Structure 1
Amino acid sequence: MKSLGRRKALLGLSAIAFAACSRGERKGGAARVVSLSPSTTETMFAIGAGDLLVGRSRYCDYPKEAERLPVVGGYADPNVEAIVALAPTLVVGARGPAGPALEQGLHAHGIETFFPETESLAGITGMIRELGRRVGREADGARVAGAIEAKRKDVAAAVGDKPRLKVLFLFDVAPVIAAGPGSFPDELLRLAGAENVIQRGGAYPTIGLEHLLALAPDLLLDGASEVHAGRTLREMLADAPGWRELAAVREGRIRPVGSDALRPGPRIGEGLWAVARAVHGDALSSPPPP
């Protein structure tokens, strides 16, 4: 009977240890997290777990506190040696070009990883909830994800049955790169009451100008947020060969959408509002307070 009781006790301790590992914790200590994407870094701060971060990618610049963290490379070229040197228990980031080789390399060092798909609003809120669970901030993850879902409903109510404009969501013009089917900006357009003129070619296709002219969008959205060589997109396209043939360019129907809020993270609710306001202009009521 004593051996049976001892076995049960050991099994109980094993279960506790496994639960701690699933949250990215070391035995007897809090998680140490390296984040390789701006969206997961921002999420860590949004759920009150910024103090658990010990490293970041060079692109993680929000909030400002993140810039104090050691840099371990970029989104596509993380430095595994630099990551391992920080002794993390968990490495998180968006699923990207580094691919399975990065995860395998980290697992070989006994480091847990979390690289979720975030090309949809459901994927983004799922990432936030799961990251909260893994670092012991489950309630905060649910709160942040719930706020995004509430904003989606607010936008749906504000858009109502307004006319659905045909929209081209641009991210670059040399070459022309736009939001396509399967991307979360494409989903944002639909949720904002617009029709994406790009219906094929993948999530972020490169488009020829002749094809673009045939699509004849009602409106162009500038998702780059930055000026291009010192000029806005409207200024660039005003005298660009071929672009003047688009009525949207001739008539100045080009509207900026700040890209920071379009990151697939905790501010995506504000990003959805920004897209809806860019599409519908003053016809859309102001968003409710946070």
Structure 2
Amino acid sequence: MRFLCLLIFVISTITPSVAATLAQQTQRIISLSPHTTEMAYAAGLGNKLIAASAYSDYPPAAEKLERVANYRGLKMERILALKPDLILAWQGGNPSRELARLEQLGIKILYSNPKTLADIPNTLEQLGQYADSPQPAQQAATEFRHQLQQLKIANHNKPKVRYFYQLGSTPLMTVADSGWPSQIFQFCGGENIFANSSVAYPQVNQEQVIVRQPQVIFSAQPIADTQQLWAQWQHQLIAIKQHHIYQLNTNWLNRPTPRTLLAIKQVCGLLNQVRDDH
């Protein structure tokens, strides 16, 4: 919290001349994750992006960017050859050793690791310092905060609903309250059955899920695949018996960007359906 307050203070005290200098000095930007690519476009930096990571597919213009990173790592030689002024990196998602090497070579890296919904508009404003005009980022941040407040009012004091978010089936994985996107489920009144796991993305088993009896199962996979996985336990799980299995749009849900608002609307709407059935 102290870091976030300091960040907001620093951004708010940056003079127009300093901001203009940052923008002028930053003409070639590389993004190393899909969410930082999307955030860069939202902040008005699309004209400065020269390369991005695999799966950077939103907005459509991002698909035309050269790929210099994937789950295996970074294409170091190509990144250096492109001579970026700024690299947008996902802290915890991109390899720290390679990022450290880039920093040692004098390349500026801006790390992104949103922990809360409020971090999204704050990050937009931070990125806006490097745009030709900070106005698009400021407008996007203001609109995000406004819509988030409206959604908060609409979903205030809703009854809690126990949920299980199935990230994958082999192995069966989920997310604790310490990991993204648990913030979205919490916002909508979801109660995570693995909230207090010691790791952010725990591997679990089906018996553990049955014992905790979620009222709804959200999945990153097609519903048919999820139903098949739980078929032999259909009489033991409330969520299965009441047909409360839903596939979520993972691009909205797993990427902390302005489209997180769409994920909130989807999750809140589905939790309301579960409440209506009880």
User: Under TM normalisation by the shorter chain, which class is it?
Assistant: 0.7 to 0.9
CA distance in 1, matches of 2:106, 2:158: 53
Contact 1:237 1:249 in 2 (8 A): no
- Code of the aligned partner of 2:240: V
Q: Give TM-score, length-normalised by structure 1.
A: 0.80
Cα distance change of structure 1 residues 80 and 100 upon mapping to structure 2, 3 Å threshold: same
Structure 1 residue runs without a partner (length 5+): 1-14, 285-290
Matched, 1:255 2:246: yes
Residue 39 of structure 1, aligned match among 21, 35, 38: 35
Residue 207 of structure 1, aligned match among 182, 190, 204: 204
CA distance in 2, matches of 1:129, 1:168: 33
Map 1:228-267 to 2 at 5 A: 232-239=224-231, 241-242=232-233, 244-262=235-253, 263-267=255-259
What is the Cα deviation at residue 38 of structure 1?
A: 0.7
Contact 1:238 1:244 in 2 (8 A): no
Structure 2 residue runs without a partner (length 5+): 1-14
- SS of 1:273's partner is helix
- Code of the aligned partner of 1:185: P
Q: Give TM-score, length-normalised by structure 2.
A: 0.83
Matched, 1:114 2:106: no
Contact 2:68 2:79 in 1 (8 A): yes
Contact 2:73 2:95 in 1 (8 A): no
Cα distance change of structure 1 residues 169 and 91 upon mapping to structure 2, 3 Å threshold: same
CA distance in 2, matches of 1:53, 1:34: 6
Residue 276 of structure 1, aligned match among 261, 268, 272: 268
Map 1:162-173 to 2 at 5 A: 162-173=158-169
Partner of 1:195: 191
Cα distance change of structure 1 residues 87 and 266 upon mapping to structure 2, 3 Å threshold: same
- SS of 1:179's partner is coil
- Code of the aligned partner of 1:169: Y
- Code of the aligned partner of 2:181: P
Superimposed CA distance per residue, residues 132-191 of structure 1 (whole angstroms, 9 cap, x where no aligned partner):
123344332222222222222122221233321111122112222112111232111111
- SS of 1:134's partner is coil
Partner of 1:94: 90
- SS of 2:112's partner is coil
- Code of the aligned partner of 2:114: T
Contact 1:25 1:89 in 2 (8 A): no
Residue 179 of structure 1, aligned match among 175, 179, 193: 175
- SS of 1:232's partner is helix
Q: Identity, % of aligned pairs?
A: 25
CA distance in 1, matches of 2:140, 2:17: 28
Structure with greater proportional strand content? 2
CA distance in 1, matches of 2:257, 2:71: 15
- SS of 1:71's partner is strand
- Code of the aligned partner of 2:202: P
Alignment RMSD (CA, Å): 2.6
Cα distance change of structure 1 residues 48 and 250 upon mapping to structure 2, 3 Å threshold: same
CA distance in 2, matches of 1:243, 1:95: 39
- Code of the aligned partner of 1:264: P
Cα distance change of structure 1 residues 234 and 211 upon mapping to structure 2, 3 Å threshold: closer
Contact 1:179 1:204 in 2 (8 A): yes
Cα distance change of structure 1 residues 179 and 151 upon mapping to structure 2, 3 Å threshold: farther
Structure exhibiting the larger radius of gyration computed from Cα positions: 1
What is the Cα deviation at residue 24 of structure 1?
A: 6.5
CA distance in 2, matches of 1:134, 1:193: 37
